[in-house]
Structure 1
Amino acid sequence: MELLLDIVEYKSKPSKEEVRKINYRILNHPNKVTVQQLANEILKGKTFIPALINKKVNGKLRRSINCWSSQEVICLDFDDGMTIENALIEFKDNAAFIYKTFNHTDKHHKFRVVFILDRVITNYNDFSNIMNELLSRYPMADRSCSDGSRMFYGGTEIMPINYNNRLEVSNYVDKDKNNYNGDNVSTLVLDLKHFTPYMDTLSPLDVNKPVKSSNLTYIRRMDLDSLHSVLNPNELRVHTHEEVYDYVKKQNLSDFLGVTSGGYFSCIFHNDVTPSANIFQNSDTGHYMYKCFSTDCTFKFGTIMKCVERLLKCDKVSALRFLRKVYKVNYHETDWQKEQKEIIEENMRYVRSDDFKHEYPVQYKLMKPYLENLHTFLSLAKDNLPPEQYKEDQKLPLFYTTMKQFANLCSQKDPRRLVDRIGLFAFMCYLYKLKEDEVPKHLLKKAKFELVKNKKRDVMNMHSFFMIESFSEEVMTRAEGYAQSFYDNHLTMSAWGWELLYRTFGEEEANRVYPQLKKKKITELSHNSAYEIDKAIRDFIAQRGWATEREVLDYVELEVKVDTYKNRQMKRMIGELLEKYGLKRKKLNNKLKEALSIPDLLNEDGNMCYPVIIYK
């Protein structure tokens, strides 16, 4: 195979300056490679152009389709809408391999699918025909792949499918009509057997068909009778806001807008001369998504909710109310839900009130950085309350969610931080996390089903089940005591977790806050690290009666050569050490300095400092 292959290897996505250099350098490096050699070069981090570009225009060679000469490799770039696991199944009969891009993560799959053609194509229209058809089948792929001069950066992992797989050009291009100009759809002949998972509802003849203007007229006029006649929805009764949102987002957006399924169409949100919009269904959530690839479009991407907001020029509440009427969704709250909502709404009001600040000052001080997270969590609980209590003695609101859902609401990219904050809320007795044997069986079965369904993409997607306490005087007084113990034991959120609670308060308390970790044991590494820190503090105290935390950490040599680990380990066990040896921890001052005969202490800049010390 002939293509352009850069000579420089990268460990991460090249910077803008590096891209500029690659852009000029790569034109001087045409190469002949096998499929496996190409995969190996990509894994080294080399950039490639899957085409031969050697035609000079006006005596100059540029990275441009005008200089394009031939091509035998095709790439599709996926950043959204498909997982690697799905892709490995979807392309098992036609792709050579898949590789992860530099920006790929376990939670956000970013990858490229590499196809090898069964023959070299030298007519650029053939390339365009193939790419247009693939992109109409896979609208979630990056449309810039249709540029035959595009550069593709290297990656971090190769996943071979079959290096002998080939795309048959004749299945995509009519040999007798190589002058295809995009207007005659009948020139495309697609071998459907290779693409059944994503083509059940698509036809290759649907490409670029117009929008049914009547649907948009019905929507803008809020003509429910006409929309009911077109969509023929069945009545549905739901009990939670989340059920409403989930249901309307799963309704076929193409049918709603009047867009024939499959292929690109002229965007309904701007004057779109070249069809640049498409609709696809998220394989994980089942939600339909509208996406416009045009740079002239301000809408870009969104669900049916956002589409209605734009078309009706309304807010989310009005959009949802309209969609409920369109799809005959009846929202019914039970008396149980109403009672529990009152509890949660009062909790939400209280944590934002001045009363909370003045009545429970220690608690407020601790919770102040996390009040918005607490408020969001309570709001999530309110929107997900089940229609009934599951046990006769159940008095508290029960609901379930995932850390990923909570993280999305908090705009938090790393759910692990929110796991710690929920742990803090449980420690404070604001909520109670149910053990597995306490969860109603039918809900637990559903949660495990969701875990199996999503574990390949997100291991943190297991539903967690919570009961929310009413923030009564009794509960808040108890929480005030927990807040005080947080400070008395010198706890920090940077080291928060099961081990910190275990070392400070014991196994029972750690398991109360983290019931899912009931069988957890402290690792040998943690035991060894704690022993070394413990010994260092005892040695310093025995020699002179005091020690700074910094010098203890500098003195200790651990198996893990990472300072952040030592810091966290020190914070996890500080409360345990103070109680165990009757020690105190305090920021140094002149009085304490004189009492303990501590000399002047200097920081790294040579200036006098007053660090936190541990002393007898």
Structure 2
Amino acid sequence: MRVYLSEIENTSKPTTYETKKISATILSNMVTISLQDFAKELTISGKTAVLAEFTQPKLSKYTPIIGQQLVMLDFDNQDLENQFTLDDLEQDQFLMDYACFFYRTFSDAESNVDKFRVAFKLDSIVTESETIHAIYQNLFERYPQADSSVGQTSRLFYGSTQGYELIDWDNELPINQLVTAPTKEINVLPNPDRIDDSTANYLLLKYRKYDTLQKKLDTNYQVTFKDEIAAEKYFCGLDIHEFLELPEGSPFIDILHTEINPSASVFYSHDYDTYLYKCFSKKSPFVGNILLLLVKYLGVYSKSQVLKILLTVTNSTIDYSSEIGKIKANSNQFRKDLTTGKLQASYPELHHYIKRYIPEINATLDFMYDYVYTDSKSGELRYLSYYSIHRLAKNVGLAIGKHISFQKMWTVLSLMVVIEMIDKLPNESVPKDLYISIIEPQENNKDKIRTSNVYEPVLFNDTTIQNMSDIVKKLKENNVTVTSLSYELIYRLFGENKALKDFPQAYKPLVEKGYIRMSSKDCNLTNKSIQLEKTAVKLIMQSLDTKGYILESDLISALARNKNTKIATIKPKYIKIRTDIINKYGLSRQRMTRDLYTTLSVAGKYCSKVIIFKE
């Protein structure tokens, strides 16, 4: 790759005079350099870089570029109420997936907050300044804590002398995902000014004219419901044709797709005690109640969102007076406290640990109440959800307006299960009829390794929220990041019962199919995990005996060499065993300070990397 790299080496942040000198000479030193060598020149030699190659030797954001393949985010954390720290970085899945390395800036040395930059390599060379601008704008939206002044092609990026910390040299940031945002098809009325209360109700819903429809319906459908279940039953019992003022006739022109020959109708199902909308066309077949119809017609992400719209336009309310209504009301209050920051005052550790995932958690919790299971014998109502991770990722992404990967969704669900915000039901606790219809067919499928999970949200009250906080405290005390949560880590930290409860299908299906072998010494750990732990302990103890410490980055590199694999591959496996090793052998793991640097007589220049030592 090609960048401008100043020949001037700095040991501290350049002064105004020094910056002018760098600006005047840097464009005369275009270099072709590997990413690894660039990181060294920038963060060890203290050089300054400009990341774009210009068409002429003029350092200006208006100068057209020949190409640029690197971008950087600068986190100076001046806003103490809205910081993005190194701990946040290590838990951020996007950065772990797409960033290459990060380094502390010159300003960090004298600061009480983390000041650092994160470097990304783009998956192809960008030749338009506008594209670079669009990439930065996308990143700034994702990370509002980052300094938005760096999004220019002419930006000078000062280096450091503290070195860098590797994320993964092979990571690349996909340009298309950042520059070309997915768009929804939205039908627009030819004459929107003509929409009034004479317009059919389904069209008023389509074009979000809720105020008009609310006045039109007045109190004709107004009801106070004791819970959402009662509300759903009521709306599904309404004649869809009459309530939505669908086109006349039967069949009539389908509202879900364009057609010439009518193919839609409404009928009452005695089996389900509800009105159903059905389209018979081969091109766009559909059958469903009013909630499912409006989910598809309005392009929203869940039945609960449709229900909120119907409550609004009918002037109806829910007082949550039933037992199951109170369960949902408590959840709504918890989600509200989480969003407004009220939870932070009472449970600061819990809030801090999950704050990076609050939008995803709130949306996921909402979906956990989409399905209500009714016990056929006792009539007991329970909120049980069996969404697949793929389906949840898609729906949660639509709910919060950004792409959610499968891995990100898995991480969020694991977090919610481990801190006991939701329960993952073991098969023996799944209601029999639900088990027979969902789990059993999957168990009989020889090609399927794991079966669906059934989730049940906890009853949110002071006791359960305090329990979440207690679990989080233990995770934080042991430096457990959200992305490292797994069966193995939970087993090593909390024991077998919780590990089996939180991750019941982690190893058992793989062992049964012969894909992995568990250790004869500990049936809860794989042979590879035991061997990795032995190697890590050996390397740590050797370094402690000779130097009295070991840098964690050096340990991970040594493990990668020992196992003949990449650092990015070995690092998450090491993180799973790290806490257990630290606790077993009475070690201390801290980010290095100047006091530690002096006390331990650390070799080389001072840097703020994580260090392991014996107290």
Larger Rg: 1
TM-score normalised to structure 1 length: 0.46
